[in-house]
Structure 1
Amino acid sequence: MTASEGRFGPFFARWCGWVLVFAAVMTPLLGWLGPLGFAPLMAIVGLLTLPAFEVREADRPAAIALLVTVLWAASSMIWSPFQPDVIWSGTAAKLAAQGLLYWAAWCAVRRADPAILRQALWVFLAGMSLLSAVVIFEAATGARLYQAVRAAIGDPIRPDLAVKNVAQGVFVLAVLWAPAALAAIRLGWWQLAVLLAAAVAAGSIGLAADAPIIALAAGVTAAAAVWRWPLGAPRVMAAGAAVFFLAAPLIVWGLQQSGLYARLQAAVSLSWSMRMDYWSYALGWIGDKPFRGWGLDASRMFGPGIRLHPHNGALQIWLELGLIGAAAAAVFWASLFHRLERRAPDPGAMAGAAAAVAYLTFAAVSFGVWQEWWLALGALAVVASLGAQRLAAGAGAPAASSVRAKASTYPHLSE
């Protein structure tokens, strides 16, 4: 029994379970109607389960990396050209709160009553399946259902903007489909796993969002690799994540020097060409302050060369937090993949790898690192993966032992 289990009784375990049921109910609604709502949702979940917060021995590398990131980000506000109106509304304060609350939400899954957790996963699976069906319908009709809802509440929207808004739900599905698919398999409805993947593909094509189908392919590949090489594949992914964050500027520079970068930029679509422009501008500014970076949220001040952020997480961290921030991000992600190492194939590790790789795929080409809803969605993916893993264990133990696991250790993303 862990210290936390000794402090809290059955009531708190049931409480955590019902809070997770609430999160499961809200997830598909927010995924379709307003992904920005994931930030307050996960904040509420973390606040309601804050007593569950704990850092176990196996959690320490990720926890230390997060702490370093938050402290360095807050310190960098001293020299950042972007200054919030009030400090407590700035990104640094939000990162500190998010780190605490989202970690508590993850710990709540460890503490949740198994029977209620099973109900939460049923709700999560049903909701994600319904969201998948809605996304397929919207992809086939040009988001007509979304437009009808907006018109019904007296807030009509242009068809092109409706398609753009609904497409955000495809990004949500692409990150959450793997833990939802694992829940489907555990609960005996493996057919719904096919529906989830099909919705990502259909939504990506029908709603003109190319990144989700790339993330889906990358996630499926990662899951297959972890099944085939349960020990080696997570290690390779950990190394790959570290290289992504540490060597991103060098990779862009090398491609530019070889001439391949210019040829690729000339061959891709306008949206991808604009991304590559942002990366080129970011590389130049990174070279001016490679160690400490320009400061938190400095990307906002580099227009028109960069609009809001470079659309590449690694380059944004280098640009704003420099080498120290990049190293912290590398340690964090490498530790997550390290927690997926197994001696035998484990569906939980597969789901964790797929979710992590999908999230990193988007981080490489789409969203800003500090976007609140995006960080919240990542936390939700961890919570969902942990819940699906616990479902397989009945009483809450991992389905398969980690290579260096102790009795109280839970793999971070695969559970």
Structure 2
Amino acid sequence: MGPPFTFSGSASGQPVPVSAPNSAPAPTASSRATYAWLAALITAVPIIIFAANGTIITLGLCALAAPAWPGCRDALRQVIGTPPGLALCTLAVWIALSISWSAAPADSAITALRLLLLWLVGLAALAGARAYRLPRGAAGALLIAYSAILALYALEIASGGALISLIKQIDPDRFTQFPDAAQREAYRQLLAFNAIGRGGVLLVLLFWPVAALLIDRHPARGKTGLVLALLLGATIFVLLQLPVGAAPLALLAGLAAFGLAFAAPRRLPQFIAIAAAALLLLMPLIAYKIDRPEAFGVEKRSIPPSWQHRIEIWHYTANRITEKPLTGWGFDGARHIDAKATQFVAELPDGSDIAYPNVTLLPLHPHNGALQIWLELGLPGALITAALLLALGFGIAALPLPTPQRAAATAAFTATLCLILLSFGLWQNWWQASFWLLLILFGLASQPTRSRDETDAHPGPPDR
């Protein structure tokens, strides 16, 4: 049975009635979009904390908010026709070509197909964010969700990771290699906090669209400022308890960008994009030089082994980039380059060295998005990605937004770049889904609210 009115979405997102069959009423697409976003918001709370790899589920629920095909098609054309969309399509073509010279073409093709499908889902979800206006109460719902995430994190921190230990069945009695019960419990807490640590990165990204939406919907500076200060303080507290060193740095970078953006709201995102593009192009040279940080006035033995390992990874990756600088090693080829032929050796402050068994100099990916682009996609991939960064930065500068919202978008852009340069494999599904969710949230935050009366009088196009 069809809806009482069938609508065809126009490019502007306004409904155009075309027929009125005799059938029972059904929810309009605007209601469907609201339900989809609400479902995504509800599922995001446990996913971010207990299963950060599941962000793709949240993205899929957001995609259910996409308008019917005619409206979705128009929205997709608009998105793809933008400079970032064109750069992304060009990157997809180069990725497809690079599969042919990857060390494992079949594996690379499967990963590329998953990535392409994820991008299509992200584009559909973004089309929904562009097509509809948010209902009233959206800012409050997002604030409640973010607060719930912080509250659950506080509960996990206070209980030593009790919930995640129960979910993942982390039982201290299984760690028989530790004779002492206190050691077994400490190891359990270590594993538990590692399991919930990845969500801290998502907290950093999510904070900025929450701030943008609150500032837009509740412009009273005193109350909104107090709420944001409380959220920021709670976020910092949580991040400092989690084993994710890159997250506090990214939040700090975002805060700096947010403050500076009020002085230069349009020029700052442009400057950040130019600086990021330049850093991307120069990253192999920088990584090659930092093998001995003494050249920068830092004693390598004074650096924690985890960061020594990161430096060694980057230096080793820079060496491998020089072997195929034009074409790269092929998409997703980083995991096949090292083949466990290397071993990490840390330099300790007392002058001794310690070798870490089974810890190589290129574990799956270089933990640096710029180096991964160079390593796998070569100079063309680096140039295309630099163009994408420029398009995003200049796009933020051109957005018709008030200064506070543009400052929040600039902060999110900066924090994301910081995380890309320090952590995670660039093509991981959950990480890519996180980028799309950030875009979608800002797309929604930039839309005007819709009152209940408007919703009833002007429903969006229903499913087709």
Q: TM-score range by the shorter chain?
A: 0.7 to 0.9
Return the offset for 1:152: 11
Correspondence 1:211 to 2:246: yes
**Which deviates more, 351-360 or 180-189?**
180-189
- Give the equivalent residue in structure 2 for 1:106: 126
Residue of structure 2 aligned with 1:19, choices 7, 19, 36: 36
- Give the equivalent residue in structure 1 for 2:183: none
- Give the equivalent residue in structure 2 for 1:163: 193
Q: How far, CA to CA, are the matches of 2:372 and 2:170 in structure 1?
A: 40
Return the offset for 1:182: 2.3
Q: Which has the higher strand share?
A: 2
**Which deviates more, 290-299 or 260-269?**
260-269
Q: How far, CA to CA, are the matches of 2:382 and 2:131 in structure 1?
A: 33
Residue of structure 1 aligned with 2:207, choices 177, 202, 212: 177
Contact 2:335 2:364 in 1 (8 A): yes
- State how 1:223-302 maps to structure 2 within 5 Å: 223-255=258-290, 260=295, 263=298, 265-302=300-337
Alpha carbons of 1:85 and 1:226: their partners in 2 closer, same or farther (altered >3 Å)? Answer: closer
For the residue of structure 1 that corresponds to 2:105, the secondary structure is coil
Contact 1:27 1:124 in 2 (8 A): no
Residue of structure 2 aligned with 1:93, choices 113, 119, 137: 113
Q: How far, CA to CA, are the matches of 2:367 and 2:215 in structure 1?
A: 35
**Which deviates more, 339-348 or 29-38?**
339-348
Contact 1:49 1:105 in 2 (8 A): yes
Return the offset for 1:244: 2.4
Correspondence 1:195 to 2:250: no
Residue of structure 2 aligned with 1:79, choices 89, 96, 101: 101
Residue of structure 1 aligned with 2:146, choices 110, 116, 128: 128
Q: How far, CA to CA, are the matches of 1:315 and 1:283 in structure 2?
A: 7
Return the offset for 1:183: 2.4
CA deviations over 1:53-100 (Å, ceiling 9, x no partner) = 42328952111111111111111111101334594xx12111211222
Residue of structure 2 aligned with 1:348, choices 387, 398, 405: 405
Contact 2:65 2:128 in 1 (8 A): no
- Give the equivalent residue in structure 2 for 1:404: none
Q: Which has the higher contact order (CA 8 A, sep 6+)?
A: 2
Contact 2:373 2:381 in 1 (8 A): yes
Return the offset for 1:149: 4.9
- Give the equivalent residue in structure 2 for 1:146: 164
- Give the equivalent residue in structure 1 for 2:78: 56
Q: How far, CA to CA, are the matches of 2:431 and 2:138 in structure 1?
A: 22
Q: How far, CA to CA, are the matches of 1:175 and 1:311 in structure 2?
A: 18
For the residue of structure 2 that corresponds to 1:295, the secondary structure is coil
Q: How far, CA to CA, are the matches of 1:268 and 1:198 in structure 2?
A: 28
Q: Which has the higher helix share?
A: 1
Q: How far, CA to CA, are the matches of 2:57 and 2:86 in structure 1?
A: 25
- Give the equivalent residue in structure 1 for 2:62: 45
Return the offset for 1:266: 3.4
Q: Which has the larger radius of gyration?
A: 2
CA deviations over 1:91-115 (Å, ceiling 9, x no partner) = 2111211222101211211212432
CA deviations over 1:148-170 (Å, ceiling 9, x no partner) = 555699xx993221111111121
Correspondence 1:366 to 2:401: no
- Give the equivalent residue in structure 2 for 1:310: 366
List alignment gaps of at least 5 residues for structure 2.
Answer: 1-8, 18-26, 175-186, 339-359, 452-464
Q: TM-score, normalised by structure 2?
A: 0.76
Alpha carbons of 1:21 and 1:258: their partners in 2 closer, same or farther (altered >3 Å)? Answer: closer
Return the offset for 1:354: 1.4
- Give the equivalent residue in structure 1 for 2:255: 220
Q: How far, CA to CA, are the matches of 1:371 and 1:86 in structure 2?
A: 13
Alpha carbons of 1:65 and 1:29: their partners in 2 closer, same or farther (altered >3 Å)? Answer: same
- Give the equivalent residue in structure 2 for 1:405: none
Contact 2:258 2:410 in 1 (8 A): yes
**Which deviates more, 7-16 or 287-296?**
7-16
For the residue of structure 2 that corresponds to 1:205, the secondary structure is helix
**1:65 alignment partner AA:** A
Q: How far, CA to CA, are the matches of 2:204 and 2:38 in structure 1?
A: 21
- Give the equivalent residue in structure 2 for 1:336: 392
Aligned pairs, number: 389
- Give the equivalent residue in structure 2 for 1:399: none
Alpha carbons of 1:59 and 1:17: their partners in 2 closer, same or farther (altered >3 Å)? Answer: farther
CA deviations over 1:218-270 (Å, ceiling 9, x no partner) = 00011111111112111111101211222211222354589526946433211
- Give the equivalent residue in structure 1 for 2:449: 394
**1:247 alignment partner AA:** L
Q: How far, CA to CA, are the matches of 2:297 and 2:329 in structure 1?
A: 27
**1:170 alignment partner AA:** G
Q: How far, CA to CA, are the matches of 1:57 and 1:151 in structure 2?
A: 44
- Give the equivalent residue in structure 2 for 1:382: 439
Residue of structure 1 aligned with 2:87, choices 65, 78, 86: 65
Return the offset for 1:197: 2.0
RMSD, aligned CA: 3.0
Identity %: 28
Alpha carbons of 1:195 and 1:139: their partners in 2 closer, same or farther (altered >3 Å)? Answer: farther
Contact 1:181 1:196 in 2 (8 A): no
For the residue of structure 1 that corresponds to 2:101, the secondary structure is coil
